[in-house]
Copies of this chain bind each other. A is one copy, B any other.
């Protein structure tokens, strides 16, 4: 039994690469999917496909459609959603993806530093588990397959 994991959250550093490597080193039968991690491409994708837009808002709106298309398809395919929140950025789309997973009856693992516990308390309460580090999230995934 292989599980598909959607890695939601910010795309400003290489945390997904680290996460996948750690999971792979444990030999867990997991397939990872997630958003476009090239931030610039993620912001440009609307104009890349549709051509130049009249203004910055419409450029953003166009980009958001293709980013949401990707998320929509891949989230539907996933068994578990992991959302990582960091100190920087608004990350409202991460909160959106996390809440969508919960509403679709897909378990959510929330990773956040303790310093964010107050603003994330309601989302944490909706998650299946909340942890502080990637290692803890990987242990949670490993536990699903553990036999002893």
Q: Which chain A residues have a beta carbon within 8 Å of chain B's beta carbons?
A: 1, 3-4, 31, 33, 36-38, 41, 45, 48-50, 54-58, 60-61, 63-74, 76-77, 79-80, 85, 89-93, 95-100, 102-107, 109, 114, 116-126, 128-129, 131, 136, 139-140, 143-144, 146-148
Contact = CB atoms under 8 A, between A and B. Distances in A.
B93 A140 contact: no
A79 B72 CA distance: 10
B76 A105 contact: yes
Closest 8 CB pairs of A and B: A103-B103, A90-B119, A95-B95, A99-B99, A93-B122, A64-B121, A64-B125, A96-B99
Q: Which of A45, A48, A140 has the most CB of B within 10 A?
A: A140
